[in-house]
Structure 1
Amino acid sequence: MATLLHIDSSVLPGKASASRAVADAFRAAWEEQHPQGTVIYRDVAANPVPHITADAHTAGFTDPSDRTPEQSAAFAARVKLIEELEQADAVLIGAPMYNFSIPSTLKAWLDNVILPGRTAGENPSAKGTPVTVVASRGGSYAPGTPREGCEFVQTYLGVLLRESLGLEPEFIVPELTMAPRNPAMSELIPLYRASRERAFADATTKAKELAERFAM
């Protein structure tokens, strides 16, 4: 049966988080198609993975027999995360925009799983795995908007996931999520609602499409 790797990184819990809510809709549709499948779940906001240390980094370039105990322990933690990525038939990532970029906890996960010679390089071990990224943001950074040039989430993740890890990323973008809470954005609430509805619909559709793909 198919395996889904689900990564959440929003600091907000449950439905208070747009990225979590939309990712949950994706996961629910996926599980409906694969009731006997496996979901590997990591909430890197609630349970952060270690940031890369010198031991964790240098261990990747050191022969196992020459590693210090500290290098071996740090590298073992990285390997567990890498193996979860390699086992996945599909990946789901909740990536809210914080200060124009991704949460540091998500960056830490990425730094751990990117390993030249294994997950990155000429023949990435998870090459071709489809990744659905729920890239929520409080405003709009779409082409033609005043802040188009400040969109660093899709730009960064698109390059990193595709070029470094050899994955196949697609994005679902619920935007203007601050509109209901910011009086200055009240006139944008209809656009926020439309974006949210579209994101939920896209999540359900994409999950079913991928689930059918792996059912063949």
Structure 2
Amino acid sequence: MAKLLNIQSSMFQAGGQTSQLATKYVQNWKMNNPNGEVVQRDLAAHPIPHLDLDRFQAFTTPAEQRTSEQQAVADFSDKLIEEISSADVLVLGVPMYNFAIPSTLHTYFDHIARAGITFRYTANGPEGLLENKKAIIFIARGGYYGDDHAQSAFLRQFLGFVGITDVEFVYIEGLATGDEAKEKAVTAANERICELA
């Protein structure tokens, strides 16, 4: 059975542009995969704690040496990793905040980047362990930045680091430049969703 993991990071939750586009894609995916499973994770509604020293040490402490508090931290991270590792398709709604991804999404990444679990170091460099997945990323921006931007590069680099190299970006840009530009961008993004689905 096919499985899709939908990760939303807009502070506006379901009302955000990226959330709406991702939701439309998921609806189309469900029509084409009627027996498929969809897992939703809204990082604005249910934020993940920022990585601090105690959490990092919980990840790196051998399981048999963890305290109960450390084990609870590791268990939460393991749950997030199980969600993404069991998914065939990853759909991310990613608005641009101050030229970057939302901090809630970065924190999510901090909890799934675990050495020996989602990636490993080799003599030839790091090797991602989350393979055979497709990621579709919906990005909303107030201005025009295109694909050659640090935000896109970071997402591509991080996903590749954990083994997800089949990545498709759908941009909706110019949202702050006027109603006509916004309408045009939304229409183009919706057309791309139909093509992808």
Q: Paired residue for 1:129? A: 133
Count of equivalent residues: 191
Point out 4+ residue stretches in structure 1 off by more than 6 angstroms: none
Fraction of identical pairs, as percent: 31
Q: Quick one: which amino acid aligns to residue 194 of structure 1? A: K
Structure 1: where are the runs of 5+ without partners?
Answer: 179-184, 209-216
Structure 1 residue 93 displacement after superposition = 0.4
Distance 2:81 2:13 in 1: 26
Q: Paired residue for 1:182? A: none
Distance 2:189 2:9 in 1: 18
Q: Please state whether the residue corresponding to 2:5 is helix, strand or coil.
A: strand
- Higher percent of residues as strand: 2
TM-score, normalised relative to structure 2: 0.90
Distance 1:77 1:45 in 2: 17
Q: C-alpha offsets along residues 122-169 of structure 1, whole Å, 9 cap, x if unaligned?
A: 5533223111010111111127xxxx7xx322111011111x111022
Q: Paired residue for 2:162? A: 165
Q: Paired residue for 1:200? A: 190
What does 1:1-216 align with in structure 2 at a 5 Å threshold? 1-14=1-14, 16-121=15-120, 122-142=126-146, 151-162=149-160, 164-167=161-164, 168-178=166-176, 185-186=177-178, 189-206=179-196, 208=197
Q: Please state whether the residue corresponding to 2:39 is helix, strand or coil.
A: strand
Q: C-alpha offsets along residues 63-83 of structure 1, whole Å, 9 cap, x if unaligned?
A: 111112221111111000000
Q: Quick one: which amino acid aligns to residue 24 of structure 1? A: T
Contact 2:88 2:132 in 1 (8 A): no
Structure 2: where are the runs of 5+ without partners?
Answer: 121-125
Contact 2:92 2:137 in 1 (8 A): yes
Distance 1:142 1:6 in 2: 23
Distance 2:119 2:180 in 1: 42
Q: Quick one: which amino acid aligns to residue 6 of structure 1? A: N
Q: Quick one: which amino acid aligns to residue 64 of structure 1? A: A
Aligned-residue RMSD, C-alpha? 1.6
Distance 1:128 1:57 in 2: 28
Q: Quick one: which amino acid aligns to residue 135 of structure 1? A: I
Distance 2:163 2:13 in 1: 31
Distance 1:70 1:13 in 2: 30
